């Protein structure tokens, strides 16, 4: 059965909603007859997204709201929540999806680190703190979906600031769900979306055609909705290259670094390459 929050005339709010997974989710919710509010940066991009969403929504432009919001700024997010409430009466689904991945190095510019953490982590915190209290007060079933990453779980070398931000999203969302389920009368649940390789503007890196290994944003959203309906907290998405079984072994190996007292990131350590390969094969 579909989650009751995903019902006609209910309200979905999506940050990072002009492209990629955010826009795919917004289109899916709009087609389902929901009122959809997206936040992002860039007036032209927002207008283009509004046109697409209005064409998909049964109620047309009257059911669509867009706002230029920097999610790293708590005041802008709070103003966005107030505007959504004023127009549509409240929020049933909040998808904290805005994210950036410009690349980072361990000793790179501090401004780069701060911007990544401000958008990817503080954007999720700001969105939750602005929207969740009124969502709880409404007493209606609702969803808070935070977009994480496998890089926030297995933390591969190469982009430490992004890994730190997404590891923070994982820890924050776990704590949020614990808080919600222990709040009397609360009908809101939190969920961690963990995409696989998805072909979006964030991952295109100049490519114009989807690599065979990647899923589309639409496939990812379909998978997400099916697992929200099932009540899953961890929505661990496969792709055309990595099945769930491989993800599970990689995640277990990463946790095993602590339990087995191996070097950190031993999966990429030359002394443990053979052991990891055997572990993946179940040996």
pLDDT value of position 4:
96
Do residue 138 and residue 156 come from a single domain?
A: yes
Residues of the domain holding 220: 11-242
The secondary structure of 200-257 as a DSSP string is SHHHHTT--S--TTPBPHHHHHHHHHHHHHTT-SEEE---SS--HHHHHHHHHHHHHH
Q: Does 2 fall in a domain?
A: no
In Å, how far are 1, 104, 164, 268 from 157, measured between CA atoms? 40, 11, 11, 8
Claim: this prediction has a pTM higher than 0.75: yes
Q: Which residues pair with 36 in a beta bridge?
A: 12, 64
pLDDT value of position 208:
73
Nearest to 124 by CA among 80, 172, 163, 174: 172
Catalytic residue among 80, 88, 162, 223: 162
Do residue 267 and residue 170 come from a single domain?
A: no
Do residue 269 and residue 139 come from a single domain?
A: no
Residue 162 annotated as catalytic:
yes
Do residue 199 and residue 254 come from a single domain?
A: no
| Rg of the Cα atoms in the chain | 19
Do residue 253 and residue 143 come from a single domain?
A: no
Handedness of CA 128, 237, 269, 103 (dihedral sign): negative
Quick: pLDDT tens for 94-113.
999 999 999 999 999 999 99
Quick: pLDDT tens for 8-66.
999 999 999 999 999 999 999 999 999 999 999 999 999 999 999 999 999 999 999 99
Do residue 182 and residue 161 come from a single domain?
A: yes
Nearest to 202 by CA among 94, 98, 96, 70: 98
Chain mean position to CA 14: 10
Do residue 105 and residue 234 come from a single domain?
A: yes
Mean per-residue pLDDT of the chain: 96
Handedness of CA 146, 149, 155, 161 (dihedral sign): negative
pLDDT value of position 211:
86
CATH number at residue 161: 3.40.50.720
Do residue 102 and residue 221 come from a single domain?
A: yes
Question: Across residues 213-239, what is the average pLDDT?
Answer: 97
Overall number of domains in the chain:
2
Do residue 35 and residue 140 come from a single domain?
A: yes
Q: Does 3 fall in a domain?
A: no
Question: Across residues 203-216, what is the average pLDDT?
Answer: 81
Q: Does 4 fall in a domain?
A: no
Do residue 129 and residue 199 come from a single domain?
A: yes
Q: Does 5 fall in a domain?
A: no
Do residue 265 and residue 144 come from a single domain?
A: no
């Amino acid at each position: 059965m579909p989650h009751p929050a995903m019902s006609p005339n209910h309200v979905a709010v999506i940050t990072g909603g002009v492209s990629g997974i955010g826009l795919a989710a917004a289109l899916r919710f709009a087609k389902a007859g929901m009122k959809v509010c997206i936040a992002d940066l860039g007036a032209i991009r927002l207008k283009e997204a509004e046109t697409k969403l209005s064409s998909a929504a049964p109620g047309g432009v009257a059911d669509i709201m867009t706002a230029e919001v920097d999610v790293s700024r708590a005041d802008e997010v709070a103003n966005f929540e107030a505007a959504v409430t004023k127009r549509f009466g409240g929020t049933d689904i909040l998808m904290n999806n805005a994210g950036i991945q410009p690349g980072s190095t361990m000793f790179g510019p501090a401004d780069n680190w701060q911007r990544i953490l401000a958008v990817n982590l503080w954007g999720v915190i700001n969105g939750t703190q602005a929207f969740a209290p009124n969502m709880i007060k409404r007493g209606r079933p609702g969803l808070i979906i935070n977009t994480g990453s496998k890089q926030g779980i297995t933390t591969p070398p190469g982009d430490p600031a992004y890994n730190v931000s997404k590891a923070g999203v994982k820890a924050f969302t776990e704590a949020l769900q614990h808080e919600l389920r222990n709040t009397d009368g609360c009908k809101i649940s939190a969920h961690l979306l963990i995409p696989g390789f998805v072909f979006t503007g964030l991952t295109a890196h100049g490519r114009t055609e989807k690599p065979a290994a990647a899923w589309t944003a639409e496939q990812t959203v379909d998978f997400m909705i099916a697992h929200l309906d099932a009540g899953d907290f961890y929505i661990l998405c496969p792709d055309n290259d990595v099945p769930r079984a491989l993800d599970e072994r990689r995640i277990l190996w990463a946790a095993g670094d602590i339990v087995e007292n191996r070097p950190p990131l031993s999966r990429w350590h030359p002394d443990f390459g053979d052991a990891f390969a055997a572990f993946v094969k179940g040996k």
